[in-house]
C-alpha cells in the first residue's frame, strides 16, 4: 500500500489525488452529450421508419455463447475480459463492447 503524497506547503495535510481518465477514456461535457443524443435520435427515427426495432443487449454474456472466438475451453478468460459469477460460470464482455 502506498501512502498519499503530501505537499510541504500544506503543513503535512494529505494532497488531493489528481483526477485523470484512464487511457482511451474521455470525459464528455453537456454540450457534446446533447449533440450525441440529437444525432442518435435522428438516426433512430430513420431506422424505425424502415421497420427496424430497438435492441439493447447486456454488456456481459456467458463465455460458452461466444463459442469459437475463445482460445481454450479450459481458460475461457484468456484474451477477453471475463469473470466468474457466483455459480462459477464464466461471463465475458461482449465483443462489440470491447
Mean pLDDT to the nearest integer, 76-86: 75
pLDDT in tens, 53-70: 988 888 888 887 876 555
pLDDT in tens, 20-44: 888 888 899 999 999 999 999 999 9
Ranges of beta strands (E only) in 1-81 are: 60-62
Provide the pLDDT confidence category of residue 52 given band limits of 50, 70 and 90.
Answer: very high
> Other C-beta atoms within 10 Å of 8: how many?
6
Share of the chain above pLDDT 90, in %: 29
Amino acid at each position: 500500500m502506498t501512502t498519499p503524497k503530501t505537499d510541504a506547503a500544506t503543513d503535512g495535510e494529505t494532497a488531493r489525488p489528481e483526477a485523470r481518465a484512464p487511457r482511451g477514456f474521455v470525459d464528455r461535457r453537456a454540450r457534446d452529450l446533447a449533440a450525441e443524443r440529437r444525432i442518435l435520435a435522428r438516426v433512430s427515427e430513420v431506422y424505425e421508419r424502415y421497420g427496424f426495432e430497438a435492441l439493447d443487449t447486456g454488456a456481459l454474456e456467458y463465455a460458452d455463447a461466444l463459442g469459437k472466438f475463445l482460445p481454450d475451453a479450459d481458460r475461457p478468460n484468456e484474451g477477453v475480459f471475463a469473470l466468474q459469477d457466483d455459480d462459477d460460470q464464466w461471463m465475458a464482455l461482449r465483443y462489440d463492447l470491447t
